[in-house]
C-alpha cells in the first residue's frame, strides 16, 4: 500500500481527477451544468483521456477511480446529491473514465499524441467540458419542458371520499420502501392552500418540497 501511495502515476492521477471531477462538482454547485451527457459522459471521458496520456501509468487508473468515488461521496455532505444518486453516478462515470483511457491509448498507438507527465498539458482535455457545459446549460434553459408522470391506484371509495382524505395530510407516517430508506426524498405532510377548485396543495419532503 505504501508503494502505491508513493507511486508517481498514482499521485498525478489523484491531482488530475480532483481537478476534473472537482470542476464538474463546482459547475453543478453554481448551476453552470445540467445533469446530462456533458456531466456524466464527456467529463469522465476527457478525464480518462488525460490519464491515458500520462507517461507513467502504473497505478493511474486506480488513482482516478478511487479519487472519483471519494469526491462523489463527498458531495453528499453539502446536500448536492443523495446516496442512491451517487451510487448510480459512480456506475455511469467509472466506465466512461475507462473508455477515455482506452481511446487515449489507441490514439497513442498511431503516434497522434505524445505521452507526458506535465500537469499543464494533462489538464488540456478538460477544455471541451468547460466550453460545452455552460453552452448546453444556457441553450437548454429556454427549451425546458414539463414531463407529466402519473401513477394510478383504484380504491373502493367515491371520488369525494378520496379527495377529502388526501387534500390535506398533517403527518405521513408509514412503512418506508427500500429506496426511501437509502435517501430518496421522503414525503412528510401535504397542506392545501384553500378548499376550492384549482387550489394549490404543497407537499413537503425531507429533501425539499
Condensed to tens digits (0 to 9), the pLDDT of residues 19-46 reads 999 999 999 889 899 889 999 999 999 9
Residue 154 lies in a domain: no
Query: Is 146 inside a domain boundary?
Result: no
Query: Quick one: 200 and 98 in the same domain?
Result: no
Measured distance CA(117)–CA(208) in Å, rounded: 45
Q: Are the CB atoms for 34 and 140 separated by under 8 Å?
A: yes
- Considering the domain architecture, whether residues 101 and 182 belong to the same structural domain is answered as no
Q: Mention every residue, 6+ apart, whose C-beta is less than 8 A from residue 107.
A: 113
In 3D space, the residue among 61, 84, 60 whose CA is nearest the CA of residue 73 turns out to be 84
Q: pLDDT (tens digit, 9 = 90+) per residue, 117-138? A: 888 899 999 999 999 999 988 8
The residues pairing with 204 across neighbouring beta strands, listed in sequence order, are: 189
Q: Indicate whether 100 and 174 sit together in one domain.
A: no
**Quick one: which H or E segment has residue 3?**
helix 2-6
Q: Cβ–Cβ contacts within 10 Å for residue 150, how many?
A: 4
What is the chain's mean pLDDT, rounded? 85
Same-domain check for residues 122 and 65: yes
Residues 28 and 97 in one domain: yes
Mind listing the pLDDT tens digit for each residue in 178-207? 766 666 777 788 888 887 777 788 888 876
- The count of structural domains within the chain is 2
pTM for the model: 0.74
- Same domain for 106 and 199: no
Question: Do residues 116 and 163 both lie within one domain?
Answer: no
Does residue 153 fall inside a structural domain?
no
Q: Is residue 151 part of a domain?
A: no
Q: What percent of the chain has pLDDT over 70?
A: 93
Q: Which helix (H) or strand (E) holds 203?
A: strand 201-205
Structural domain span for residue 184: 159-205
User: Residue 150: inside a domain, yes or no?
Assistant: no
Amino acid at each position: 500500500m505504501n508503494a502505491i501511495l508513493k507511486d508517481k502515476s498514482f499521485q498525478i492521477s489523484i491531482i488530475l481527477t480532483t481537478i476534473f471531477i472537482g470542476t464538474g462538482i463546482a459547475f453543478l454547485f453554481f448551476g453552470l451544468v445540467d445533469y446530462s451527457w456533458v456531466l456524466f459522459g464527456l467529463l469522465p471521458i476527457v478525464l480518462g483521456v488525460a490519464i491515458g496520456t500520462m507517461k507513467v501509468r502504473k497505478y493511474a487508473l486506480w488513482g482516478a477511480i478511487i479519487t472519483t468515488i471519494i469526491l462523489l461521496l463527498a458531495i453528499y455532505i453539502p446536500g448536492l446529491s443523495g446516496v442512491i444518486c451517487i451510487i448510480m453516478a459512480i456506475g455511469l462515470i467509472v466506465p466512461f473514465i475507462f473508455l477515455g483511457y482506452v481511446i487515449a491509448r489507441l490514439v497513442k498507438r498511431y503516434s497522434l499524441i505524445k505521452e507526458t507527465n506535465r500537469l499543464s498539458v494533462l489538464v488540456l482535455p478538460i477544455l471541451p467540458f468547460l466550453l460545452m457545459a455552460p453552452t448546453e446549460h444556457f441553450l437548454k434553459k429556454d427549451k425546458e419542458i414539463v414531463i407529466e408522470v402519473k401513477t394510478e391506484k383504484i380504491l373502493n371509495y367515491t371520488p369525494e371520499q378520496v379527495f377529502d382524505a388526501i387534500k390535506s395530510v398533517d403527518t405521513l407516517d408509514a412503512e418506508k420502501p427500500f429506496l426511501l430508506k437509502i435517501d430518496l426524498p421522503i414525503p412528510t405532510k401535504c397542506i392545501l392552500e384553500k378548499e376550492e377548485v384549482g387550489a394549490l396543495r404543497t407537499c413537503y419532503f425531507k429533501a425539499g418540497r
